[in-house]
Every structure is written in structure tokens, then in C-alpha cells.
Amino acid sequence: MQFIDLHTQYKRHEETIDKAVKRVLEDGHYIGGREVGELESTLAAFVGRRHAIACANGTDALKIVLMAKGIGPGDAVFTTPFTFFATAEVVGNLGATPVFVDIDEKTYNIDPAKLDEAIGKVKKAGTLVPRAVIPVDLFGQIAAFEAIVPVAEKHGLWLLEDAAQSFGAQRGGRRSCSFGLASTTSFFPAKPLGCYGDGGMIFTDDDELAVLCRSVAVHGKGRDKYDNVRLGLNSRLDTIQAAILLEKFKIFPAELEARDEAARRYSTWLSGKVTTPFIEPGCCSAWAQYCVRSPRRGEMMAALKTEKIPTAVYYPVPLHKVTAFSYLSPVTLPVSEAVAQDIFALPMHPYLEVSEQKKIADVITSC
């Protein structure tokens, strides 16, 4: 059994994917080919943004936006500690300070009330300048932007939606990557919409920010690549990956539906045995992961392993406790710390067989 079954996906769509790759090879434009522009316009229209800027990966996408906005030493950027390291890593890389805010105990996304408190504390301390908030759409569910936006506006901060796990999700009729001043996503192979290498995308409605992000992504270029007007990165999406993504996007709606059906089966069969994911009213998750909680996590994971069923833990150590951030002032974030102790992920992908899910549920139920 596969935790994420990319092989089955490829075999079912092998012919169209191979043809797309071959077209790029025959065309010979391996960087900046027409497929990159086509992907940008296609995905911008899908999420409802004016601009989409392709880049090399989801981490660079976050960093490019922060660089374009001039984030640096002395700045405070507020985010969740319950996410992948990259979200806060890019803040530290630029010399700014990540300020971790505890999460909602049901959704595992950043808690808007605690965000308000955290910003107030930083303002009162006066040693850092609050600049931005990076809410993360964890496990595929969009963060509570209807509550986060007023908090950010109250304090004069701008929002960067980290939608690396949520592409395709919806909240209140809006799609993932349509919230905040800018949004970013990842096309890492395991993501809901993934390529066969690395890739990322930035989305924004701000014309000036879009120009700046394109510049930062290509060595800070101005009129051309030799007119370097600012310090930037070398962060471009390869044409082959764009071609693959265009083909995979054609099957993406059906895959989202299949993920949702798989999640519903899990939740039905596991209800009362473990804490199943909570999806807020008016929300549709992209189900990047299906994570459950149990104080008997170790026993359950061991039983599943015996049956050759893979599992994973997202995330075993909240970011405020990782070694890389030991230079920050210590904080206690009880919800993040509690969730990290008993959460684990089950296989989730569009090609899960009902029989496979039933076996997983039976093993957990028997523990």
C-alpha cells in the first residue's frame, strides 16, 4: 500500500503526460517556454487572481514575496508553529524574526484571537516592528481569513497565504490562493497538484508586487536579465514541469473529488475510534493529508506497520521547539504542543481503493 500513490496516477495518464514532455523536448525551450506562461494564466484564472508568477519551489515562492516587500532585520512576521519548517525558515533567512502563534484546537490552523494577542505583545515590547502575517492552510483546509483579515487590518499588517497544502480547496466560495496580499503554493510531487520535480507559484492582485516578484525570481532583473536592479534569486519553473502540471490540471477536479470521497469514508469508519479532521462549515479541503489524533498513536502506528500500511507524523516538533529557532525567546504554545504528541497521518491520495481504506479502519478499530 502506498502513502501517496504517484505511480498509479502516472500509469493512468502516461500517454498524455509523455506527449507533453516530448513536445517540450522537441521544442527545445527548457526554461521559460510557452507552457510556463500558459500555466500561469490557467492557474491565475482558476484561483481568481490577476497575476500568477511561477518559480522553482514553494519555499522560494514565500521568500520571493517577503523579499519583494522588503522584509528584513527588525521585522516581526507572525505565523503558526504547526507547519513545515519552510514557512518560518524563509523569515529567518532574511534576518527577520518569526513570531509563533498557537493554533485552533479543531482545525490546527492559526488562532485569530491568539494572533491579535501576539501582535499586541510585540507592539508593546517595542523591540520589533510587526510587518506581516503568514497563515498556513494546514493539511488542505484554508485558514480562517474572515477572522484573520480584521486582526491584520487593525494592526496595519499585510497577509501572505501559505497555500502549499491547499491548492484546490475552497472557503466561503473562494478558492485557495485568493486570500491576502499574496498567496503561494507548492508543486512538490506529493502536493494535491504536484509536478515530477519541484515547482512553486505566487499569486497576487497587486500589479506592482507582481512586477517585483518577477524581478526577484530572476536575479533582480530590470528591463532584461543583465539590468540587475535589486538582489534576487535564481528561481524559475522548468518548462517540462509546467507541461506536466498543465496535463495534471486537466484531471485535478476529478482527483479532488476522489480525495474528498476517501476522506468521507475514513471519517465515517473511524468516528469514535480516533479524533477525525474537523472541516469548518462552508469549507472544502484539498486533503493534502488525512490526519487523526489518538493518545494511543504509537500502538496504532505499530499495528498499521505490521500490516504494511504506511503512516507519517505531521508534525512531531512544533517550530518554536526546533533547534534552528533556539535563538528565539522561549514560548509555551500548549495547543501546538499537545497536537504534536498524538497526531498521525493515514494514506491519502485519489487512487485509494475502498478495500485499502477498510483494512486501515479495521486495524485501527482493533487496537
Give tens-digit pLDDT for 90-138. 999 999 999 999 999 999 999 999 999 999 999 999 999 999 999 999 9
CATH number, span 6-246: 3.40.640.10
In this predicted structure, the answer to whether residue 5 has a pLDDT above a threshold of 90 is yes
* Domain range list for the chain: 6-246, 251-366
Give tens-digit pLDDT for 192-203. 999 999 999 999
Q: What's the pLDDT at 56?
A: 98
In this predicted structure, the answer to whether residue 224 has a pLDDT above a threshold of 90 is no
Please give the model's pTM, rounded to 2 decimal places.
0.97
Q: What is the mean pLDDT of residues 227-233?
A: 96
Q: What's the pLDDT at 219?
A: 97
Q: What is the mean pLDDT of residues 52-67?
A: 98
Question: Has domain 251-366 been given CATH number 3.30.300.20?
Answer: no
| Residues forming a β-bridge with 55 | 200
**Angstrom distance (rounded) from CA 350 to CA 2:** 11
Q: What is the mean pLDDT of residues 40-67?
A: 98
Q: What is the mean pLDDT of residues 165-173?
A: 98
In this predicted structure, the answer to whether residue 238 has a pLDDT above a threshold of 90 is yes
Q: What's the pLDDT at 225?
A: 84
- Computed on alpha carbons and rounded to an integer, the radius of gyration of the chain in Å comes to 21
Candidate list 69, 191, 248, 321, residue with the active-site label: 191
As given in the structure block, the three cell numbers for residue 53 are 508568477
What is the rounded average pLDDT for all residues in the chain?
Answer: 98
In which band, very low, low, confident or very high, does the pLDDT at 168 lie, cut at 50, 70 and 90? Answer: very high
The residues, ordered by sequence, that sit 6+ positions from 50 with a Cβ below 8 Å of its Cβ are 44, 204, 205, 207, 210
191 in catalytic set: yes
Single-letter amino acid code for the residue at 330: P
Q: What's the pLDDT at 174?
A: 98
Give tens-digit pLDDT for 269-287. 999 999 999 999 999 999 9
In this predicted structure, the answer to whether residue 158 has a pLDDT above a threshold of 90 is yes
